Structure formats: structure tokens, C-alpha cells
Amino acid sequence: MFNSSLKGLSAQLADRKISSVELTREFLKRVGELNPVLNAFVTVDPEASLDQARIADAMISSGRAGPLTGIPVAQKDIFCAKGWLTTCGSKMLSNFVSPYDAHVIERFNAAGAVNLGKTNMDEFAMGSSNETSFFGPVKNPWDIKAVPGGSSGGSAAAVAARMAPAATGTDTGGSIRQPAALCGISGIKPTYGLVSRYGMIAFASSLDQGGPMAKSAEDLAILLNAMAGFDKRDSTSLERQPEDYARDLEQPLAGLRIGIPKEYFAEGLSADVEKAVQAAISEYEKLGATIVEVSLPNTRLSIPVYYVLAPAEASSNLSRYDGVRYGYRSANYRDLTEMYENSRAEGFGAEVKRRIMVGTYVLSHGYYDAYYMQAQKLRRLIARDFAESFEKCDVIMGPTSPSTAFDLGEKGDDPVQMYLSDIYTIAVNLAGLPGMSIPVGFGDNGRPVGLQIIGNYFSEAKMLNVAHQYQKATDWHGRMPNI
């Protein structure tokens, strides 16, 4: 049952072979068993989950069920959920119970899904290993010495360990795709603007995008159908006709043109990752695809551009955490300035402070043009590389991450090394394009390898089709860690 697809679980619920309450209890039980080891969840509230399961069961009995009705879904703790602690992995919000639902949570509630619990994450989504969480690191279910990736590491580990059939994530520079790759699951970051950011705690507003994480592309399509859609409360949300992201899953891949950017197979890529990715590309050729070489020459600029723009936006987005209205307030202060300083010094972790300082610096008078404005210009060049490539191909493929999961603590002292682990994913956020990761094998150390699929704007249905056809021909996505 724990390895069953969403479609499979849906069918069992519809056929009354199991109720949502029973299903939820089973998963809660597994969470209870595995979480002490993996630390993937920061909050579980069995009563709240079971209340939702009862509502779902009523929907099923009255014939009002959809594909997600009664399905437990783990929610990244960045999504505000009414009545739930919503901490964003930070001491700053360790006492914050949200009085409202994010758009994504509303959508899941309306679909009758069950909130299984809130998953661990890097503090304010700033990190690539889940080690910056105030609630301690998440362990990779494939090897508990390894990181799960970040920032959606809790969601990735939860799905990989089959503690949840599906989860949500958010991706600012790779935070869905990189942990999906490191934990051997599937995840998609949609086109910027497809999923409303309302109620999704902001890290870098122009880059943040929510998306689903699951065992397969087919499951992702069902989840994305629920999550995507216009929301007038988010001014960057795109007003488009709703679409069925599962509609093209069964299309054959004959004639598909796959762009391979040479820059993604250069220095810095581990041999075992390259091998697995090349094997996956060969598999695609067997499925009828043709390979085209493309070039993304400005990819090398994406890390410096990202580490100007994302911290700049973050430094401003995180100003609201001042200890005045909600969240953590220091017990030690004599005046207003001290209250601000001590609340923020004690409430934020080191990585968050580092980024606030970098962001404050690049926006400062006299530096703005040299950093922020320059980075915006380069951002457009990076987007143009992709636009030119998509004239020659339908999707772009390459590794999601330069290596398999690294060990906990391995990169802790060197933020730049840590930042480099997002080298292949960041450019996609800067361009606002959709990107996904699917498992395509294992590295020398037995840890999973992810293939990144990058599509043109709004080509999610196509990308899911491309991923699904591969998953029909292979079984990497069905492998479960021994835990």
C-alpha cells in the first residue's frame, strides 16, 4: 500500500476497500515509526488530519470524490494552513499558528485531500541540504548519513520513505528538483506564476514557485491539476484557461527533440551522475527521441546572479519578522532598537542572516547599480539562452545536481560549495521556466541520481508526458529505500 500510486489509492478509496480515515491512520503510523530517524516532519496533528479524512469519507460516500479526495498529502511547512503551526523551519516562526490557508492549501482542502502534517525544510527555504532548519536536519532515507537535499528536504524524504504518498514543495533555485533528485523521487517546479504564491511564505518573490513532489510523473500531474490555477490575490499569478496536466501522458515520444546543453556536462559533474544521466538519455533515444546539442553559455553566471537577486528580495521579505506583531520576540531588550536586534539575532539562523546581510548590501545606496541592476540585466541574458535553445528542441535534459547526496556536515563550513550544488537548477528559476527531476539510477555510493527535464513556458503537460513515458519503460521511480 505504501508504494501504491495516487491513482491506485484513489481506486481503493472509491471501491471502499479502505476509508480515508484508515489510510490516514496507516500513514500517520508510518510517520510515527520513521520520523524519529528521518526528522522529515516538524508537525503532525493526527486529530486535525483525521477530521479531514472524515470529511473526505463523507465526500466519497456522497459521490462527490475527485482523484485526491481522501489522499494524505504532506505539506511543506512554508505553506500557511489555518490552525496549523507554520514555522518555515525557523525559530522566528516556531510559535506561529496560521490564521489562514494558503491558496495551495485551499485547493487541496477543496479537493478533499488530507493534510498529513508539515514537513521540515531549510530555514525560510534557504539551503540545499536541509541543515539550516531550526528543527534539525532531515536524513536521507537511502542513507541516513546523507542529506536529503533542500530546501524541500522533508517533503522529499517523506515521499522517498513512503511516509506520504505525495507532498508539496517550493522551488526558488532548485528546492523541489534537487531534493527530489537526492531522494530518488519525482518533482516539478511549474512555470513561474502557475501556482499562486498566496500563503506561501516568501523567500525571493520573483523566483519562488510551489509545486508537487511524488513518486511518479503520473502522480505529479494529478497533484498539479489541483495546485495550479489563477488566484487574484497573487498579482504575479497568471490568468489562463485551466488545463489537464495528465492529458498528454500517454503520447508517444517519437520525434521528440531533446536539447543537451554542453555546459551541463562539463567540469564539476561527478562521473557516476553523468553515467546515469547519459544512460537515461540513451533510453529516450530508444523511445524515439532525437538528441540536439544546445548551448546555455550564460549558465555560469546564474549562481552569482541568483546570489544577488534572491538575497536582495529576501532581505526585504524577511523585514516583517521584527518581533512586533507575531513570531519570536527576544526576552532581553531595553528599547525598540534592542528589541529588533535581539529578536532577529536570536530568531534567525546563520544562513538566513548571511543572506539578509548580502541582500542589504547589494541594495544599498552606491551598490545598487553595480549589483542589483547588473544582475537583472544578466538575468535577461540567461532567459535568452533558453529561448534560443527552445527554437531547436522541445525539452532540455541534463543532471539535476552535480553529485548524489553528500554527507551531513560535509559542506557546512563552505557556503559557496553548498551554493554550487544548485548550478543546474538556478538558471531555470531566473528564466521563470518549468523544470522537473525524475530518478534515473544510482551513484557509486548507492544514492539516487536525478535527471532534470526543462521545458518551455507552460509546457508542463509535455514534460510530464516525457517523464511518464520514461517511467513506463523503467522502474527507477518504483524503487524504495530499505528503511
Partner 1 sequence: MQWEVVIGLEVHAQLSTESKIFSGASTAFGAAPNAQACAVDIALPGVLPVLNRGAVERAIKFGLAVGAKVARRSVFSRKNYFYPDLPKGYQISQFDLPVVLGGEIPILVDGVEKKVRLTRAHLEEDAGKSLHEDFHGMTGIDLNRAGTPLLEIVSEPDMSSPLEAVAYARELHSLVRYLDICDGNMQEGSFRCDANVSVRRPGGPLGTRREIKNLNSFRFLQQAIEYEIRWQIDTLESGGKIQQATVLFDSDRGETRAMRSKEEAHDYRYFPDPDLLPLEISEAWIEEVGKTLPELPQAKRIRYVSDFGLSAYDAGVLTSSKELAAYFEEVVSIYSDAKVCANWVMGEVNGWLNKAGIEIAKCPISSRALAGLLNRIGDGTISGKIAKEVFEAMWNGEGEADAIIEARGLKQISDSSALEKIVDEIISNNPSQVADYRAGRDKLFAFFVGQAMKATRGQANPAQLSEILKQKLAG
**Which residues carry out catalysis?**
76, 151, 175
- CB distance 113 to 89 below 8 Å: no
By beta-carbon proximity to partner 1, the closer residue of 324 and 387 is 324
By beta-carbon proximity to partner 1, the closer residue of 197 and 468 is 197
What does the angle CA 55 – CA 58 – CA 165 come to, to the nearest 5 degrees?
A: 60
Minimal distance, residue 360 CB to partner 1, in Å: 7
Minimal distance, residue 348 CB to partner 1, in Å: 13
- CB distance 89 to 124 below 8 Å: yes
Binding interface with partner 1 (CB under 8 A): 79-80, 86, 88, 93, 96, 98-100, 102, 197-202, 204-206, 232-236, 312-313, 315-316, 318-320, 322, 324-326, 336, 340, 360, 363-365, 368, 372
Dist CA 26 CA 24 (whole Å): 5
Q: How many CB atoms lie within 10 A of CB 344?
A: 20
By beta-carbon proximity to partner 1, the closer residue of 81 and 111 is 81
Minimal distance, residue 282 CB to partner 1, in Å: 41
Instruction: With CA atoms as reference, report the closest residue to 175 among 11, 338, 358, 418.
Output: 418
Minimal distance, residue 367 CB to partner 1, in Å: 10
Instruction: With CA atoms as reference, report the closest residue to 440 among 450, 431, 455.
Output: 450
Minimal distance, residue 160 CB to partner 1, in Å: 27
Kind of pairing, strands 290-294 and 395-399? unpaired
By beta-carbon proximity to partner 1, the closer residue of 11 and 324 is 324
Cell 511549474 belongs to which residue? 190
Minimal distance, residue 327 CB to partner 1, in Å: 8
By beta-carbon proximity to partner 1, the closer residue of 43 and 452 is 43
By beta-carbon proximity to partner 1, the closer residue of 360 and 474 is 360
By beta-carbon proximity to partner 1, the closer residue of 16 and 232 is 232
Minimal distance, residue 200 CB to partner 1, in Å: 6
Residue 214's DSSP bridge partners are 166, 186
By beta-carbon proximity to partner 1, the closer residue of 67 and 127 is 127
Kind of pairing, strands 435-442 and 114-119? unpaired
Cell 500517520 belongs to which residue? 28
- CB distance 371 to 308 below 8 Å: yes
- CB distance 434 to 189 below 8 Å: yes
C-alpha cell at 218: 503520473
Minimal distance, residue 412 CB to partner 1, in Å: 27
